[in-house]
Amino acid sequence: MRRPCQVFALLVSALLLPACHETRKHVREFDGASAFHYIETQMSFGPRIPGTEAHRKMVAWLDSLLRKRADTLIVQSWTHVTAAGDSLPLTNFIARFQPAATKRLLFLAHYDSRPRADSPTSTDSTKPVPGANDGGSGVALLLGVADVLKRVPPTVGVDLLFDDGEDYGDFVKTPDDVLMGSRYYAAHQVPGPQPLYAVLFDLIADKDLQIFEEGNSVVGAPEVVELVWNTAKDLGYAGTFVATPKHTLIDDHLELQKVGIRAIDVVDFDYPAWHTKDDTIDKVSGASLQIVGDVAVELVRRE
Ligand SMILES: [Zn+2]
């Protein structure tokens, strides 16, 4: 998309460049309302905790949706034995668009739900996390991007990784029981070139959406942070994507950084319902998904 615009401008006049740019800006491909329905469907399954019926339904649903949308679907299945000795059936989905392209982008989101609502602010840590925003929003975003890429295929390769087992254990006491899907993906990479960069999306549908830069992203892949926040700014979303670091998180992007992938985390961590039983559908909105979805699609079209 970029090259014809430039050539056109060179041939005619620099004055036409804004017009050309303007034409692109008006194409809104991502549909926030239908992405919101993808959160509703996940909520109807119940918390998607590995080893439960809801998780099995989630796996079957993702499998059927992604087969209809992607050029190639890679399914990674394995069993993880937890520190407590439980065996968890885990599955990663890698939905590939233009699988032969050497220039590739990777977007990822975890789809599992946390078995215990153990936030320090939680009123009942025996309950699971419903995961409307935590897990649910990232999946909805990636599925919305898959719909867009099915309609108008990208000129670069795009991989959408739906990873499992991000949120199962305790991040301090049982670190092997979290980030399991991204660790498995990093250890079993798809043959071929690594992506130019990777963007992890989570907690991106909060009705009160404000996304600050994340500390480990700024340290590990500052140029990707700059690219994503600049893209948001170009779309008029500088008020939502605040170009200042705030929280520093242990998340799936770190497992990818360890194997040399320029991975960052796009996450609104100012979410009072985080890891509580109140992470429910009334806290999230299609309007917020629209903003982040527009940015994600623009990242693809910009290449
Ligand atoms: Zn979580």
pLDDT in tens, 227-236: 999 999 999 9
pLDDT in tens, 252-292: 999 999 999 999 999 999 999 999 999 999 999 999 999 99
243 C-alpha to ligand 1 centroid (Å): 23
Residue entry with tokens 């989630």: 58
276 C-alpha to ligand 1 centroid (Å): 10
pLDDT in tens, 82-139: 999 999 999 999 999 999 999 999 999 999 999 999 998 888 888 999 999 999 999 9
221 C-alpha to ligand 1 centroid (Å): 22
31 C-alpha to ligand 1 centroid (Å): 25
127 C-alpha to ligand 1 centroid (Å): 14
- Do 42 and 136 touch, CB atoms closer than 8 A? yes
- Do 94 and 190 touch, CB atoms closer than 8 A? yes
148 C-alpha to ligand 1 centroid (Å): 27
- Do 212 and 239 touch, CB atoms closer than 8 A? no
Per-residue pLDDT at 26: 55
- Do 259 and 108 touch, CB atoms closer than 8 A? no
Give residue 251's identity as a one-letter amino acid code. Answer: D
Report the SS3 class of residue 146.
helix
106 C-alpha to ligand 1 centroid (Å): 21
* Two tokens, residue 153: 């295929």
